[in-house]
Structure 1
Amino acid sequence: MTKKPLRILHCFRSPVGGIFRHVRDLVEEHSKAGHEIGIICDSSTGGEHEDLLFEDIKPYLSLGLIRIPIQRSISLSDARVLRNTFRQIKALKPDVLHGHGAKGGVIARLAGTALRIGGNRVARLYTAHGGSLHYSRSSLSGQLVLRAERFQERLTDTLLFICEYEEITYNKKIGKPRIATRLIYNGINERDFEIIPPRLDSVDFMYVGMLRDLKGPDVFIEAFAKTERILGRPLSALVIGDGPDRDKYLAMIVESGLNRRISMLPAMRVKEAFTMSQILVVPSRAEAMPYIVLEGLAAGKTIVACRVGGIPEALGKTSAALVEPGNSDDLARVMAEALTTPNWHHTVMPARGAIELAFSASHMAQQVMTAYSELVERLQPHRFPDT
């Protein structure tokens, strides 16, 4: 296995949520190990919170931070993005291009393939993080996206899956991979394993995450109202985050007459958010392996979540904390139980020690580096001994 420091570029679209957390952890761990790291991502998403997170990792980005406008949907502007990013990628002379999410995967794999054609032996890796796998095979758009993923296997050296669910879904929707794959769980740092008790003025429930329908804030709001009816008394909640559907959820809260009991706050550092309630609700309609669940468990939070993605792999596949996705009645039932049943947390939540063992950021980074190094070594030209 090669021992020389590697030049690694991570490509992804939105610097928000789980992908950004995943990349930040890899950047920090690999930079501390002596490798040179850079990031290419979208400049039109994220806000003050994400700017602070970039400031945290800038000391580790020896290859720099490149931010350009990258739209979520497929558009004619993608050709310009690919042209511009290729020039910058080529100038940085990477050993490894790692694409995250659908758009990041396209950039990394197309640029890496162009470099390979030009004689540069760059390794091309891709992690979906859900992304394209959320599409349905029954829709035209889904068929196009999933077929594009199948085609791009030809431009990929290794697929990395962040949970068993993602690997199973890829096989089901796209087909058995024709290239090398690795299952490497998302991981969190030792500093995340600190119990964060709720403040004296904490609310009953909180939602923390992106404000878009895929993540289910609307299901949370509906379930909150039904939980009040189940318990026969008013409750309190917070919706914390930013996203494209924020105004829609605010209007939903007001129209439901809940604006005095559900408040909305912008995205903030997760440890600050965790002081505001003991019960974290994750009402997603689809996920891969969400960091918010791992972070919540590490902080000692009580979690109620939908049975989607890799969440059952963290909470336990038969956990009483899991509910049917999109079902606000089922969610309300478990929210009421979590709030009022004595010792519900200790009975239902997995042991923090087991989470620390299974979902370690340092172990994740080591496994990813092994994938990088083995690919780079394999791509090196063979040298024959002098005769």
Structure 2
Amino acid sequence: MPESLRIVHCFRSPVGGIFRHVRDLAGAQVAAGHQVGIVCDSTTGGEYEARMLRELETKLPLGVHRTPMQRHIGLGDLSSAWKTYDIIKELRPDVLHGHGAKGGVYSRMFGTLLRVSRYRVARLYSPHGGSLHYDEKSVTGRFFFALERIMERLSEHILFVSRQERDTFVRKVGPPRAPNTVVYNGVTGREFEPVAASADAADFLYIGMMRDLKGPDLFIEALQLAERATGRRLSAFMVGAGEDRDKYVAQVAERGLADRVHFRDPMPAREAFALARIVVVPSRAEAMPYIVLEALAAGKLMVATSVGGIPEIFENAPAALVEPSAQAIAAGMARAIDDEAAYAAVMPSGEEVRARFGADAMASRIEGIYREARRN
């Protein structure tokens, strides 16, 4: 029987796609007999995320450990970093897997300190977009890409969630010198049960973080443009939380849409899918967004921007993709709402999504990479 591993996942923000990825991966790893724990920030996320972490903690042998982690590097980062290191050292991981920019730095820096202390630990990193979203011409971007180059030397393996993410790394940071693999995100079997729209469902749904990178402002503008194009009043739900949410509430009010655009706090994706007939993913940048996979698995119609790894999901059904502009998104929304039956024909099939993006396959491949990294 293969050796059981002590696996610690380190990331900053327990929200969005990274959190979903870690939850699925950790659950599959526990089911495979491994000792798994999580270390993440204690200052982000609301009651919904806190409840999910409490539920997760009951299933993880190494527990859930929350400590303050700043989003940006600063003087306060020194004390929070030291607290994180103490937690990780106490957990004695065989594998330290960092997710996102902050988790990637912490996992490789602290893993290296443990290795200097003659403690054998494999250091792995999954960018999940993270610092790769920065403009390579900006001062901030140059700083983070130089840091990525340094940290790469401290990595046993880099895991990319899409070919596009790896290509972006090559373009902005340079060809990876550490071993690296593309492993797609995966959804679980139970998520392939169709979710029907409720009797009073809205026309469109935005679900995700409330920040400009994810395009809520584009969604609002596109909804108004789609109304003009179709000559009808359109309704929508916007589900999520984030530091810019108040700005989008104000944008909806300014455009006279407050009576038909309704905001909801974060909720399970499948609950949100019942709120509307068509899901819109208006992101300006992505890695391999879970919400796209979840919505397709649930049989939802979708308009999505052609950014990040999304085109890899729609390789055999590119007609549902649009450019990340309000005008292009509005055109896609108008086309979808005008003839939903015809639009359904351009969606990827559930069978194709299941074959290419299954959670079990994702976890199995990553376990093999962990074991190989442990031998280095």
Q: The TM-score by the shorter chain falls in which range?
A: over 0.9
Percent sequence identity over aligned pairs? 50
Q: For residues 316 and 77 of structure 2, what CA distance do their matches in structure 1 show?
A: 40
Residue in 1 that maps onto 2:365: 367
Residue in 2 that maps onto 1:256: 255
SS in 1 for 2:180: strand
Q: How far did residue 52 of structure 1 move?
A: 2.2
SS in 2 for 1:303: strand
Q: Is the CA contact 1:43–1:69 (under 8 Å) kept in the aligned structure 2?
A: yes
Residue in 2 that maps onto 1:119: 118
Q: For residues 317 and 193 of structure 1, what CA distance do their matches in structure 2 show?
A: 19
Q: How far did residue 347 of structure 1 move?
A: 1.8
Residue in 2 that maps onto 1:329: 327
Structure 1 residue 236 corresponds to structure 2 residue 235: yes
CA deviations on 1:36-60 (whole Å, 9 max, x unpaired) are 0010000111111112221332232
Between 70-79 and 260-269, the greater mean CA deviation after superposition: 70-79
Q: How far did residue 76 of structure 1 move?
A: 1.1
Residue in 2 that maps onto 1:87: 86
Q: Is the CA contact 1:185–1:364 (under 8 Å) kept in the aligned structure 2?
A: yes
Q: For residues 47 and 104 of structure 1, what CA distance do their matches in structure 2 show?
A: 20
Residue in 1 that maps onto 2:29: 30
SS in 2 for 1:60: coil
Q: Is the CA contact 1:82–1:107 (under 8 Å) kept in the aligned structure 2?
A: yes
Q: How far did residue 69 of structure 1 move?
A: 1.1
SS in 1 for 2:176: coil
Residue in 1 that maps onto 2:11: 12
SS in 1 for 2:141: helix
CA deviations on 1:319-370 (whole Å, 9 max, x unpaired) are 1211111x11111111000011252333210111000000010110001111
Between 267-276 and 57-66, the greater mean CA deviation after superposition: 57-66
Q: For residues 330 and 373 of structure 1, what CA distance do their matches in structure 2 show?
A: 45
Residue in 1 that maps onto 2:148: 149
SS in 2 for 1:138: coil
Residue in 1 that maps onto 2:128: 129
Q: For residues 173 and 111 of structure 1, what CA distance do their matches in structure 2 show?
A: 25
Residue in 1 that maps onto 2:308: 309
Residue in 1 that maps onto 2:51: 52
- The residue identity in structure 1 corresponding to 2:43 is S
Q: For residues 312 and 294 of structure 2, what CA distance do their matches in structure 1 show?
A: 14
CA deviations on 1:220-267 (whole Å, 9 max, x unpaired) are 000000000001111111111101100000000011111001111111
Q: Is the CA contact 1:193–1:298 (under 8 Å) kept in the aligned structure 2?
A: yes
- The residue identity in structure 1 corresponding to 2:181 is R
Q: Is the CA contact 1:215–1:284 (under 8 Å) kept in the aligned structure 2?
A: yes
**Which stretches of structure 1, 4 residues or more, deviate above 6 A after TM superposition?**
none
Compute the TM-score of the two structures, normalised by the length of structure 1.
0.95
CA deviations on 1:66-103 (whole Å, 9 max, x unpaired) are 10111211111111122111112111111000000000
Q: For residues 303 and 73 of structure 2, what CA distance do their matches in structure 1 show?
A: 34
- The residue identity in structure 2 corresponding to 1:289 is M
SS in 1 for 2:226: helix
SS in 2 for 1:343: helix
Q: For residues 18 and 205 of structure 2, what CA distance do their matches in structure 1 show?
A: 22
Residue in 2 that maps onto 1:343: 341
**Equivalent runs, 1:167-246 vs 2, <5 Å:** 167-246=166-245
**Equivalent runs, 1:243-322 vs 2, <5 Å:** 243-316=242-315, 319-322=318-321
Unaligned runs of 5+ in 2: none
Residue in 2 that maps onto 1:160: 159
Between 81-90 and 251-260, the greater mean CA deviation after superposition: 81-90
SS in 1 for 2:53: helix
- The residue identity in structure 2 corresponding to 1:275 is A
Residue in 2 that maps onto 1:383: none
Residue in 1 that maps onto 2:355: 357
Q: Is the CA contact 1:37–1:60 (under 8 Å) kept in the aligned structure 2?
A: no
Q: Is the CA contact 1:27–1:60 (under 8 Å) kept in the aligned structure 2?
A: no
Q: How far did residue 133 of structure 1 move?
A: 0.7
- The residue identity in structure 1 corresponding to 2:5 is L
SS in 2 for 1:176: coil
SS in 1 for 2:319: coil
SS in 1 for 2:243: coil
Q: How far did residue 317 of structure 1 move?
A: 6.7
Unaligned runs of 5+ in 1: 380-387
Compute the TM-score of the two structures, normalised by the length of structure 2.
0.98
The CA RMSD measured in Å over matched residues stands at: 1.1
Q: For residues 317 and 161 of structure 1, what CA distance do their matches in structure 2 show?
A: 21
Q: Is the CA contact 2:219–2:280 (under 8 Å) kept in the aligned structure 1?
A: yes
Aligned residues: 376
Q: For residues 90 and 371 of structure 1, what CA distance do their matches in structure 2 show?
A: 22
SS in 1 for 2:196: coil
Q: Is the CA contact 1:17–1:209 (under 8 Å) kept in the aligned structure 2?
A: yes
